[in-house]
Chains A and B, each alone.
Chain A
């Protein structure tokens, strides 16, 4: 049942008004369930690539496929829907709405996603219960679950963010430098937890970082500079 999760074909993207393309990627295929590390220096187009895959910005047709859907053909609304349903996104930091508690932040993941709600329905427990269960599994204690997000440590906040991304089992987790605000101990711990959770549900993980030392955790490490031919041409 292993299909393709992300497929880039002759991707070429430039910002409106820019003379040179920022991204030119002949081919990239990430299969379902794969854990991939994408390494790139800052300013190399990492964030842009992620926003294209997450459907925030629109690529041209026939260039970006996520779960078999050509994002270039989907409307803004359809891309938002796809992201809500199938993509969990983890930021570098400040992932949470500071005024909601940890578990409320997690439950938020299904707010815009009928598909996640549908998948959660397989469990008989309430969303609240499931969110708390997931958070506890990721190492938060009962007291921390109820605390407003801004009272949690950065490490705890990233776990809540991971829990929200995972809640309702989306097919793909995109993590944009999620460990850069963590120290080494917390970083390894966080990656382990994230890996465990992704393995358990067969979730694809696209982990973006500038830190190549994390590569040994992953099935595959991709160097953005190697697949992106845009800069070569420019030189």
Chain B
């Protein structure tokens, strides 16, 4: 029967191909959106790991997360150097990364930090930052910068290039700190996280351009103990790593109730989940759109099958005359829908993998989206199966009509 369905479809090549294409495109969209959704969520959750607490001035947890990890939005409040010193000496704090934000270079955010950032910051599954070229800066450097991978590539910057950072986050600023240029010392390897989209300079350098310390003072005394020095007055956020993870909850409460200054401590994992939940709506909208496209594709198939029935009554009568029962006619139409759907889904999946295979690099470079051509997940198989199931279910409509026609027409041939 499948052979007969195939031959019959081959006879209606044009409409069959169009139907297959419609199903392929809808499958592609459905699976593509699902893949973007899950992998984006995965990448999203991978932006930071290993950090137990993020501390900033009193603010909302989402805002603190966005500004410190994603470099989105400006922090209105800052925390004082004294608070940073307080945080460092809290029991159980294994490492700390200060971050001073607010400056930019060609609209990429500039992060003032210490060498601890390169040592302790982790993303993905506990992956540390890697350099692709050059070297990191030291805490007493004042004119060295390390670039995120995307910054270096987009702005075409190399080791040794000079750059002048601007105050504020806009592309054009009237207060360029051009009296104090920085020299590119290192370029980070790509991480597919917001870390690629920032420039990193030492706090001492940042303080210098802001006029918070004087250059001479910094330069002459190299064996000075920098831990007690104050290169900048204020910080935007501090990332803390704890020696003992369960301590985070208690420490969070302690920081939130710190009396020296109103502070907020958040746990990045929780805050990320919370933030992702607010993006849920987009996710649902995307899914709804792709589901509707699938429905459109399947309705197209239904239309072509129904339209073909009229011209095929003759075919049905011939089949009846050689002994095909009405159920065979029913089965013939369901097989046709099955073949169309399977071909469409297979084509859709092939196109998806072609795109993922050849376009993944382009996507990563141009959108920062990390999509991998990994085998279909269980959920994706279920989606593909659902499309097939829906196609077969829908085909019951033309199949039922053909069945009725076959019974009513019998051996009379209507044209």
Chain A residues packing against B (C-beta within 8 Å): 47, 50-51, 54, 56-57, 76-77, 80-81, 83-85, 89, 91-100, 104, 108-109, 111-113, 164, 176
Known A-B contacts A47-B412, A56-B410, A91-B413; the reply to A99 vs B324 at CB < 8 A is no
Which residue from chain A places its CB closest to the CB of B326 in the assembled complex?
A: A76
B180 CB–A CB distance under 8 Å: no
B2-32 residues with Cβ-Cβ distance < 8 A to A are 4, 7-8, 10-11
Residues on A with C-beta less than 8 A from B322 are 83-84, 89, 108-109, 111-113, 164
A104 CA to B11 CA in the complex, in Å? Answer: 14
If A76-B325, A77-B325 touch, whether A99 touches B7 (CB-CB below 8 Å) is: yes
Complexed CA–CA distance, A164 and B322 (Å): 9
Contacting residues of chain B (296-330) with chain A, CB-CB under 8 angstroms: 314-315, 317-326, 328
C-alpha gap A109/B323 in the complex (Å): 8
Do the beta carbons of B321 and A89 come within 8 Å of each other? Answer: yes
Q: List 20 A-B contacts (CB under 8 A).
A: A51-B411, A51-B412, A56-B320, A80-B323, A83-B321, A83-B323, A84-B323, A85-B323, A89-B321, A97-B8, A97-B319, A99-B8, A99-B10, A104-B7, A111-B322, A111-B324, A112-B322, A112-B323, A112-B325, A176-B411
| Chain A residues closer than 8 Å to B317, beta-carbon distance | 91
Q: Please report the C-alpha to C-alpha distance between residue A96 and residue B325 in the assembled complex, in whole angstroms.
A: 17
B410 touches A91 (CB 8 A): no
Contacts of B315 in A (CB 8 A): 97-98
Which of B8, B314, B322 has the most chain A CB atoms closer than 10 A to its own CB?
Answer: B322
Q: Are the C-beta atoms of B325 and A51 separated by less than 8 Å?
A: no
Indicate whether A98 sits within 8 Å of B11 (C-beta atoms), given known contacts A54-B411, A89-B411.
yes
How far apart are B201's CB and chain A's nearest CB, in angstroms? 73
What chain B residues lie within 8 Å of A94 (beta carbons)?
314, 318, 413, 415
Asked if A91 and B10 sit within 8 Å, CB to CB, the answer is: no
CB neighbours of A57 from chain B (8 A): 410
Q: How far is the CA of A80 from the CA of B321 in the complex (A)?
A: 9
Instruction: Report the Cα distance A176→B412, complex, angstroms.
Output: 10
Between A and B, how many residue pairs show CB distances below 8 Å? 70
Residues of the B chain whose Cβ atoms lie less than 8 Å from the Cβ of A111? 4, 322, 324
Query: Can you list, as one digit per residue, whether each of B169-188 has a CB less than 8 Å from chain A (1) or not (0)?
Result: 00000000000000000000
Name the interface size band of chain B.
Answer: 20 to 34
Q: Is the interface of B mostly helix, strand, loop or mixed?
A: helix
Q: How far is the CA of A81 from the CA of B325 in the complex (A)?
A: 8
Closest to A82 in B: B323
Contact of A113 among B323, B410, B413 (CB under 8 A): B323
B321 touching A54, Cβ below 8 Å: yes
In the bound complex, CA of A57 to CA of B321 (Å): 12
B367, chain A: closest CB distance, angstroms: 47
Kindly provide the distance from the CB of B127 to the nearest chain A CB, expressed in whole angstroms: 59
Tell me the nearest residue of chain B to A115, going by C-beta: B323
Interface residues of B in 263-318 (CB under 8 A from A): 314-315, 317-318
Q: Are the CB atoms of A80 and B325 closer together than 8 Å?
A: yes
Known: A56-B320, A164-B322. A99 touches B413 (CB 8 A): no
Chain A contacts of B413 at CB under 8 A?
91-94
* A91 and B411 contact, Cβ closer than 8 Å, known pairs A56-B320, A97-B318, A99-B7: yes
Q: Which residues of A contact B328 (CB under 8 A)?
A: 112
- CB B406 to nearest CB in A, in angstroms, measures 9
Chain B positions within 8 Å of A54 at CB level: 321, 411
Among A54, A80, A96: residue with most chain B CB under 10 A: A80
CA distance A89 to B325 in the complex (A): 15
**Closest CB of chain A to B89's CB: distance in Å?**
85
Nearest CB of A to B330, in Å = 13
CB neighbours (8 Å) of A112 from chain B are: 322-325, 328
- Given A56-B411, A57-B410: A80 and B324 interface contact (C-beta under 8 Å): yes
Question: Smallest Cβ distance from A22 to chain B, in angstroms?
Answer: 14
Query: 16 more A-B contacts (CB under 8 A) besides A85-B323, A95-B318?
Result: A51-B411, A56-B410, A76-B325, A80-B320, A80-B323, A80-B325, A84-B322, A84-B323, A91-B318, A91-B413, A97-B319, A98-B315, A99-B7, A100-B7, A111-B322, A112-B324
- In contact, B321 and A91 (Cβ under 8 angstroms): yes
Residues of A within 8 A of B319 (CB): 97
Q: With a CB–CB cut-off of 8 A, which chain B residues contact A85?
A: 323
Cα(A96)–Cα(B410), bound, Å: 16
The CA-CA distance from A54 to B324 in the complex, in Å, is: 12
Q: A77-B325, A80-B323, A81-B323 are in contact. Are A96 and B318 (CB under 8 A)?
A: yes
Q: Which residue of A lies closest to B327 (CB)?
A: A77
B189-240: which residues lie under 8 A (CB-CB) from chain A? none
List B contacts of A100 (CB < 8 A): 7
CB distance from A68 to the nearest CB of B (A): 19
Q: How far is the CA of A81 from the CA of B322 in the complex (A)?
A: 9
How far, in Å, is B98 (CB) from chain A's closest CB? 76
Residue of B nearest to A77 (CB): B325
Q: In the complex, how many angstroms separate the beta carbon of A80 from the nearest chain B beta carbon? A: 4
The 4 closest A-B pairs by CB, nearest first: A84-B323, A99-B11, A56-B410, A112-B323
**Bound-state Cα–Cα, A113 to B319, Å:** 12
Contacts of A76 in B (CB 8 A): 325-326
Interface residues of B in 319-366 (CB under 8 A from A): 319-326, 328
A51 in complex: contacting residue of B7, B8, B326, B410, CB < 8 Å? B410
Q: A residues within 8 A CB of B410?
A: 51, 56-57
Q: Which residue of A lies closest to B323 (CB)?
A: A84
Q: Which residues of A contact B325 (CB under 8 A)?
A: 76-77, 80, 112
For the complex, give the distance between the alpha carbons of A77 and B415 in Å: 26
- Return B63 CB to nearest CB of chain A, in Å: 66
| A219 and B329 alpha carbons, distance in the complex (Å) | 37
Of B323, B411, B413, most buried by chain A (CB within 10 Å of CB) is B323
